[in-house]
């Protein structure tokens, strides 16, 4: 794992402004708070008649999805269009491989077309970093999920949802439940919660789905819901990757649901005003009981709404930082 200074130098300008958004690691509480505040202003805009601002007018955003994800692609596409950007959706894997072009050549070509921002989704950890470091001196890169490493916009929309419902993080106990081992979402959430000063971060999972050294990240580890959920203010369910089921790591769906599925009964362990979160799409009856997903303590649809707002926030902030950085470089 790279040092904090290393990450800072990639995704921040010398003045500490965002110019890429690759990972939560190394970002300060004030910067994360600035993202949340900016996103809040876009949430308000969603209630208005005209949900559009000209912040990225005349800019081109290229969505480079090496790994298919209709839902995440749609949220970035909508966020970019509501910022008035022109959007280019590229199924880059098939187009480049079919003609034998290297990744670097593809990216340099897109940059030469004056694309201003790459939104990157890739199955390899570190792909967005690689692109930001080696290929694009003046293009802002947004990480839309890279392997098991990070999914920072998902983590920030979760933080926004928690802050909207619970206010200050310093008194909160938060439990993350499910396949921690394979989850880039969980990693990004833990970094964000630590930076924002959450009182207590817990993970709940079977031993086979727990990475090592979690305690070193300041996290309390539980293997039983009855103990892990006790007195928490926020429950974050992870999505179960069904393809893992075939492996030896996981019990059957029904076995998992019995032990770790969030039912009304298990929800009772948490605080009476605890909120329930899930990144979606939900598997009803696998990770979560339908009545909980649709219940009054579920904030799952707020997460979706906040997902657009957070993406608009990081896209506009990174574009602004990238432009300032280039103007400074041009003078130097």
Interface residues with a second copy (CB under 8 A)? 46, 48-52, 57-60, 70-71, 74-75, 77-78, 81-82, 86, 88, 90-91, 94-96, 99-102, 105-106, 108-109, 111-114, 242, 280-284, 301-302, 304-305, 307-308, 323
For a second copy, the closer CB: 55 or 259: 55
Tell me how far CA of residue 133 lies from CA of 49, 98, 123, 143, 307, in angstroms.
40, 26, 18, 13, 26
23 marked ligand binding residue: no
Nearest distance from C-beta of residue 133 to a second copy, angstroms = 17
For a second copy, the closer CB: 28 or 69: 69
Nearest distance from C-beta of residue 278 to a second copy, angstroms = 11
Nearest distance from C-beta of residue 37 to a second copy, angstroms = 20
Dihedral sign for Cα atoms in the order 14, 19, 21, 22: negative
- Spatial separation of the C-alpha atoms in residues 237 and 244, rounded to whole Å: 17
For a second copy, the closer CB: 221 or 286: 286
- Spatial separation of the C-alpha atoms in residues 229 and 177, rounded to whole Å: 9
For a second copy, the closer CB: 71 or 227: 71
278 marked ligand binding residue: no
- Spatial separation of the C-alpha atoms in residues 258 and 226, rounded to whole Å: 12
For a second copy, the closer CB: 105 or 264: 105
212 marked ligand binding residue: no
72 marked ligand binding residue: yes
DSSP structure string for 66-113: SS--HHHHHHHHHHHHHTT-EEEEE-HHHHHHHTT--HHHHHHHHHHT
Give the 3-state secondary structure of residue 55.
coil
163 marked ligand binding residue: no
Listing from the earlier edge strand, what are the strands of the sheet with 234-237?
A: 220-222, 200-204, 173-177, 234-237, 275-277
- Spatial separation of the C-alpha atoms in residues 68 and 155, rounded to whole Å: 20
| Cα-based angle 290, 296, 300 (whole degrees, multiple of 5) | 65
99 marked ligand binding residue: yes
151 marked ligand binding residue: yes
Nearest distance from C-beta of residue 226 to a second copy, angstroms = 28
218 marked ligand binding residue: no
For a second copy, the closer CB: 59 or 182: 59
Unique residue bearing structure tokens 């005349």: 58
For a second copy, the closer CB: 198 or 240: 240
Give the 3-state secondary structure of residue 8.
helix
Q: How far is CA 262 from the centre of its chain?
A: 22
Nearest distance from C-beta of residue 162 to a second copy, angstroms = 17
Q: Which residues contact 66 (CB under 8 A, 6 or more apart)?
A: 92, 93, 120, 121, 122, 123, 127
Binding residues for L-aspartate: 99, 184, 239
Extract the annotated binding site for carbamoyl phosphate.
Answer: 71-72, 121, 151, 154, 280-281
């Amino acid at each position: 794992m790279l040092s904090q200074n290393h990450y800072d130098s990639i995704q921040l300008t010398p003045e500490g402004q965002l110019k890429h958004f690759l990972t939560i690691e190394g970002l300060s509480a004030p910067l994360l708070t600035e993202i949340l505040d900016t996103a809040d202003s876009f949430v308000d805009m969603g209630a208005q008649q005209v949900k559009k601002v000209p912040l990225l007018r005349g800019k081109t955003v290229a969505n480079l999805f090496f790994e298919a994800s209709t839902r995440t692609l749609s949220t970035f596409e909508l966020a970019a269009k509501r910022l008035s950007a022109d959007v280019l959706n590229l199924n880059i894997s098939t187009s480049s491989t079919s003609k034998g072009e290297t990744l670097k050549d593809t990216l340099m070509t897109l940059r030469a077309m004056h694309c201003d921002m790459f939104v990157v989704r890739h199955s390899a950890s570190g792909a967005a970093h690689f692109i930001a470091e080696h290929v694009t001196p003046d293009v802002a890169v947004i990480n839309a999920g890279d392997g098991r490493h990070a999914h920072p916009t998902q983590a920030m929309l979760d933080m926004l949802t928690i802050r909207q419902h619970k206010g200050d993080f310093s008194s909160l106990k938060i439990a993350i439940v499910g396949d921690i081992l394979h989850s880039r979402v969980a990693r990004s959430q833990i970094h964000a919660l630590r930076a924002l000063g959450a009182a207590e971060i817990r993970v709940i999972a079977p031993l086979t789905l727990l990475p090592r050294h979690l305690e070193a990240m300041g996290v309390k580890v539980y293997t039983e819901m009855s103990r892990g959920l006790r007195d928490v203010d926020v429950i974050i369910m992870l999505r179960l990757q069904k393809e893992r089921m075939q492996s030896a790591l996981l019990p059957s769906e029904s076995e998992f649901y019995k032990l770790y599925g969030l039912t009304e009964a298990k929800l009772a362990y948490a605080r009476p005003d605890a909120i329930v979160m899930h990144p979606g799409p939900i598997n009803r009856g696998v990770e979560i009981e339908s009545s909980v997903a649709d219940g009054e303590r579920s904030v799952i649809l707020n997460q979706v709404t906040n997902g657009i707002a957070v993406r608009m926030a990081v896209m506009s902030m990174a574009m602004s930082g990238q432009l300032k950085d280039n103007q400074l470089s041009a003078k130097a």
